[in-house]
């Protein structure tokens, strides 16, 4: 798995996992399938309205032009993802970790005609394979990269990027360094399950039991009102202290 270090706007260096070439190719193929299905849907919806019309050819040309903006439209609406990218768990971000703006998405889209369509993908594959940041020409022009949403240690990219500069952040529980990645992933999965199924009491009992064991293991006392918040704080401290 290829990784790179990005420097955020807060001058924090974060290591992120790049999307693999296979991820991007499969995502592209999925988008082609979805594109074709949407085109057929639009065709089916329009045909009853224009049966017998001499303008049928031009109407379908117009639909094709609109559909050519498929990638641009979805990346703008879905904030760096298309349906295919979403299925593959990858997304487009700026090289500093920020969210691209419309002009960035437009630049990536415009270069698709050279990267992918005009060269049957050869230019894109060559560029991605040889670039340190896994960038095709469109990415280089737009200053973007394509990364895995699920990042180092199983954390979501948005969770990592939401943490402020390590120079100003003071961890509440520096003792959390004594835990390992497996411990933290187990806690994160438990927290996610508790948030997803808040009415299932067994998860609440497990959160309390896990929190109490950690307190004893680290020789700390929770400062938060609930063990949910305690474990959430431990996760945040762990990310900032170990990345």
Q: What is the mean pLDDT of each run of 10 residues along the chain (243 residues)?
A: 72 78 95 90 73 66 82 94 95 90 95 89 93 94 92 61 60 88 84 81 88 92 90 84 70
CB 24 within 8 A of CB 146: yes
Task: Supply the pLDDT for residue 50.
Answer: 63
Task: Supply the pLDDT for residue 54.
Answer: 61
**b/e sequence 213-240, b meaning 16+ C-beta within 10 Å:** ebeeebebebeeeebbebbbbbbbbbbb
Task: Supply the pLDDT for residue 45.
Answer: 77
Task: Supply the pLDDT for residue 109.
Answer: 95
Task: Supply the pLDDT for residue 164.
Answer: 47
Task: Supply the pLDDT for residue 104.
Answer: 96
**b/e sequence 176-202, b meaning 16+ C-beta within 10 Å:** beebeeebbeebbebbeebeeeeeeee
Closest alpha carbon to 173 in 126, 133, 233, 98: 233
pTM, two decimals, is 0.67
């Amino acid at each position: 798995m290829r990784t790179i270090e990005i420097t955020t706007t807060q001058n924090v260096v974060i290591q992120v996992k790049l999307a693999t070439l296979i991820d991007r190719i499969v995502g592209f193929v999925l988008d082609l399938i979805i594109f074709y299905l949407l085109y057929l849907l639009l065709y089916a919806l329009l045909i009853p309205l224009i049966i017998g019309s001499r303008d049928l050819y031009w109407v379908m040309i117009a639909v094709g032009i609109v559909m050519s903006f498929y990638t641009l439209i979805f990346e703008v609406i879905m904030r760096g993802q298309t349906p295919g990218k979403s299925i593959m768990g990858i997304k487009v971000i700026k090289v500093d970790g920020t969210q691209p703006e419309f002009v960035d998405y437009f630049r990536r889209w415009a270069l698709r005609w050279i990267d992918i369509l005009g060269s049957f993908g050869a230019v894109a594959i060559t560029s991605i394979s040889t670039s340190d940041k896994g960038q095709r020409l469109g990415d280089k022009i737009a200053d973007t990269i394509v990364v895995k949403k699920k990042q180092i240690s199983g954390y979501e990219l948005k969770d990592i990027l939401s943490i402020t500069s390590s120079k100003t952040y003071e961890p509440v529980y520096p003792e959390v360094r004594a835990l390992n990645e497996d411990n933290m992933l187990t806690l994160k999965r438990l927290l996610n399950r508790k948030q997803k199924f808040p009415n299932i009491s067994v998860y609440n009992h497990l959160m309390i039991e896990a929190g109490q064991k950690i307190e004893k293991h680290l020789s700390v006392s929770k400062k938060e009102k609930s063990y949910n918040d305690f474990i959430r704080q431990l996760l945040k401290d762990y990310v900032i202290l170990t990345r």
